[in-house]
């Protein structure tokens, strides 16, 4: 009886040891930086709610909705972390079809501001499927490029990746959502570069894109998009129109000084002078209320988070993991650069949210999903050695 007991206990001890080794690779730093950034986002949601005169815990308040989305995002992160990411490679093509389906549904029944089709109501909540489509696009490209490492010197391999990214890019552009469509482009270029695609062909494709810009400007972009893209060059030229948001954002950033005026004390916030201050221009409110020091802390946390994302890719023994991490880093970095850049006047005004900080459930959940998959990649790197 004792021999049977001893034998039956060995697998349990081995399983426990295996689980311990797996979770030892969990990147606590990555999760900590993400949680701190999320805390700043909740602080901004609280400030926007308090200064609007609404009750912080009212059913429709920005802060209460932010708490709800945060709880969902944490659950998504935990599920994605415990899920074996290898299955993503198996179901990459069905996920690609799901991605196209979600974007097509958004075009068909979605709503938005000014006749756009960007959000779909899910159980009474507005969800932007293009945010989830970013992560699904990274999965698809990581599977395609990761399985072709060492064979990406030909033009056809690059064209194949472009064909995969093309339909989602066009569907998002038709919503129309130029900012999100540009994120797809950034993901494609970054993953191609990281996977070892020919620099010569990448240069030729980049030159072709530049050459096609006059055509896109003339026949693809709407007049309001052209106005928003050029307003940052001289916002004072139309201070009551296309330059209004940038002008008010720069006032907010300048008013913050070194240490800020304090949470909920921002004039631009309290008076509602800055449109979409809880989404696209939330960084201006953050700079006003928390000052230059607070803004630098947030940017430092982004740098630290991006570093841990790249470390996950560098440590990955699977090309899929390396390319996936690069895609996530490109998604976060491009959104960070464009959002902050448009607030301080060095980038055109586009509707790109600031990760973790801008209010929006779809963006937060998508980022949580991406980081959860990264953690799944982290904790399963030693599997081949068992």
pLDDT of residue 17: 43
Where do the structural domains in the chain lie, given as residue ranges?
27-380
Average pLDDT value for the chain: 84
* CA 338/CA 187 separation, integer angstroms: 14
pLDDT tens digit sequence for 226-248: 777 777 777 766 777 777 888 88
> Tokens standing for 30?
């990555």
Strands (E), 236-337: none
The beta-carbon contacts of 269-272 under 8 Å, at least 24 apart in sequence, are 269/47, 269/48, 269/51, 270/51, 272/52
Is the overall model pTM greater than 0.85, yes or no?
Answer: yes
* Distant-in-sequence, close-in-space partners of 341: CB < 8 Å, separation ≥ 6: 347
Mean of pLDDT values over 63-79: 94
Tens digits of residue pLDDT in 38-61: 999 999 999 888 877 666 777 778
Counting Cα atoms < 13 Å in the Cβ hemisphere of 324 gives 30
């Amino acid at each position: 009886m004792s021999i049977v007991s001893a034998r039956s206990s060995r697998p349990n001890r081995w399983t426990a040891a295996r689980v311990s080794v797996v979770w030892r690779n969990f990147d606590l730093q990555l999760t900590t930086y993400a949680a701190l950034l999320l805390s700043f986002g909740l602080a901004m949601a609280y400030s926007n709610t308090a200064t609007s005169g609404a009750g912080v815990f009212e059913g429709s308040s920005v802060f209460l909705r932010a708490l709800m989305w945060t709880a969902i995002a944490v659950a998504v992160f935990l599920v994605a972390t415990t899920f074996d990411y290898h299955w993503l490679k198996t179901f990459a093509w069905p996920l690609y079809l799901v991605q196209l389906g979600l974007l097509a549904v958004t075009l068909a029944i979605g709503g938005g501001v000014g006749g756009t089709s960007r959000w779909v109501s899910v159980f009474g909540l507005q969800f932007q499927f293009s945010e989830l489509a970013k992560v699904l696009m990274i999965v698809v490209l990581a599977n395609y490029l990761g399985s072709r490492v060492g064979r990406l010197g030909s033009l056809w391999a690059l064209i194949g990746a472009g064909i995969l990214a093309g339909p989602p890019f066009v569907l998002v552009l038709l919503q129309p959502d130029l900012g999100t469509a540009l994120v797809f482009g950034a993901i494609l270029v970054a993953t191609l570069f990281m996977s070892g695609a020919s620099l010569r062909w990448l240069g030729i494709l980049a030159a072709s894109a530049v050459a096609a810009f006059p055509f896109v400007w003339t026949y693809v972009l709407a007049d309001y998009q052209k106005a928003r893209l050029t307003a940052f060059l001289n916002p004072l030229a139309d201070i009551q129109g296309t330059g209004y948001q940038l002008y008010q954002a720069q006032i907010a950033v300048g008013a913050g000084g070194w240490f800020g005026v304090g949470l909920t004390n921002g004039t631009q916030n309290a008076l509602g002078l800055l449109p979409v201050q809880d989404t696209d221009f939330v960084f201006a409110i953050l700079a006003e209320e928390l000052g230059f020091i607070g803004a630098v802390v947030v940017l430092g946390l982004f740098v630290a988070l991006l570093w841990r994302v790249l470390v996950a890719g560098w440590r990955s023994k699977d090309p899929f993991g390396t390319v996936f991490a690069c895609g996530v880093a490109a998604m976060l970095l491009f959104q960070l650069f464009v959002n902050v850049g448009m607030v301080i006047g060095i980038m055109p005004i586009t509707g790109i949210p600031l990760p973790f900080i801008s209010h929006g459930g779809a963006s937060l959940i998508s980022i949580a999903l991406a980081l959860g998959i990264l953690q799944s990649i982290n904790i399963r790197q030693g599997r081949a050695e068992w």
